[in-house]
Amino acid sequence: MPPKPHRILLDRVSGYADEAAAYMRRRRVARRPFARLYYANGRSADHAFDSDSGAELFVAAGRLLEVAGKRPKP
């Protein structure tokens, strides 16, 4: 017996939602800290954490994170 049409639609939407959730989970797990600079001519450059310039950028960013503090709970 074929499934009802609305079940097909619901299954498809749930499938997309599951895929998106899995992508976000993988992104959270796999993402590493990075420092990226963008220039006016459209060029961009990544600076690794263990490079001199990268380390300095992370220190400067850390100070700004301190200044901003934690987001208050709603």
Partner 1 sequence: MPDAAATALAPGDSAQGALAFLTEMSPDLRGAAILAADGSVLAASGEPGRWGEDAAALFAIADGAGGESVEQVHVATEQGEVFALRHEGLAVVAVAERFALASLLFFDMRSTLRNLAHTTPSTSEGGESRNGGED
Name the residues that contact partner 1, by CB under 8 A: 27-28, 31, 33-40, 45, 47, 53, 56-58, 60-65, 67-72
Cβ atoms of 35 and 54 within 8 Å: the answer is yes
For partner 1, the closer of residues 5 and 52 by Cβ is: 52
Nearest-approach distance from CB 10 to partner 1, in angstroms = 28
Q: Which residue has the tokens 């690794």?
A: 48
Residues 6+ positions from 33 with CB-CB distance below 8 Å: 49, 58
Least spacing, CB of residue 55 vs partner 1, in Å? 10
Q: How far is the CB of 57 from partner 1 (least distance, A)?
A: 6
DSSP state, residue 1: -
